[in-house]
Copies of this chain bind each other. A is one copy, B any other.
């Protein structure tokens, strides 16, 4: 979602009571709610129609993961708010797209909002906002759109009891979800990186006016990518420190691992920004190079033909015939042309010798 769209959506909300939720009617799609409840030994998975159907799990010690596809239903979000005692401002944030990635620690639960980007079923890159609420024994994820789902990887791990996930708490599940989201950023970065390498070659080898469009597009991609990766640094750093009691000591290294990835992403973005700035400079310089080339060519042409014009203009063939003292144009004409060619050639050699071409 571009900047301007997110600003517009904010403008539309001016005058609303803070924390007030608005049913977004223009979104027609159904909201799909799926629940997973598991611990080391047991595991339940179901898709439910009413959000109330999953509230029973709140009292259980097992980890409950409620995933909601669609953040536009005021009714559902409000019920979650009431049942899990979530602050109205958080509920408002969940329902408002275009959020800057951030983390809020409200004691009993932590709220994280991020942008998720990934290739959908048809391979096209899509993006959506993901809100993550997690407490001692629950994780609630609210996705903006019911698109292809990178979270299936995690569901498989839970179903098949792979890795540490079933043995760990809600914090590890939250980690796994954020880890998948951050991993998917590398796919975008890969595209940007390949694009930059192509651009470099194009700029150095055969720059065209089209190159400028591409460089600009590349810079914009970097700027918008950077915009949702930079704030993550702070978010993940906060999770990697042991400030909140909600994250287990054993999960901390995993949070720090995400931090490392985020730093690496930022590093790469900054490197790419440096390179793209250089590419634009190189482009400008190469344009100026080309101009020099064109001008030298023009000068050469002027230099060769202008003396000829003068000479040709002086008198034409008849005078020349007169000068050579021969009336036979079969002799005087070739001589005349040979003379012109000789002058051209000499001019060209002088140019070469002076290093002007």
Contact = CB atoms under 8 A, between A and B. Distances in A.
Q: Which of A102, A157, A263, A290 has the most CB of B within 10 A?
A: A290
A275 interface: yes
Contacts of A194: 4
Given A280-B285, A291-B295, A314-B316, A333 B329 contact: no
Copies of this chain held together in the complex: 5
Contact of A316 (B175, B282, B287, B316): B316
A254 interface: yes
A10 B183 contact: yes
Dominant SS among interface residues on chain A? helix
A282 B215 CA distance: 9
B283 A284 contact: no
Interface string A209-238: 100110110011001100100010000000
A179 interface: yes
A316 B320 CA distance: 11
A18 interface: yes
Contacts of A14: 180, 183-184, 186-187
A341 to B, nearest CB: 11
Interface stretch (A48-56, A70-78, A305-313): A305-313
A260 B20 contact: no
Given A306-B309, A309-B305, A323-B329, A297 B4 contact: no
A123 interface: no
Interface of A: 3-4, 7-8, 10-11, 13-15, 17-20, 87, 89, 100, 102, 104, 106, 153, 157, 162-164, 175-176, 179-180, 183-184, 186-187, 189-190, 193-194, 197, 200, 204, 209, 212-213, 215-216, 219-220, 223-224, 227, 231, 253-254, 256-257, 260-261, 263-264, 267-268, 271-272, 274-275, 278, 280-299, 301-303, 305-319, 322-323, 329, 333, 336, 340, 356
27 contacts: A3-B268, A3-B271, A4-B193, A4-B194, A11-B186, A15-B153, A104-B256, A204-B213, A209-B286, A209-B289, A209-B293, A216-B282, A231-B267, A278-B280, A280-B285, A287-B289, A287-B292, A294-B356, A298-B299, A301-B306, A306-B309, A309-B310, A310-B340, A313-B313, A315-B316, A323-B329, A323-B333
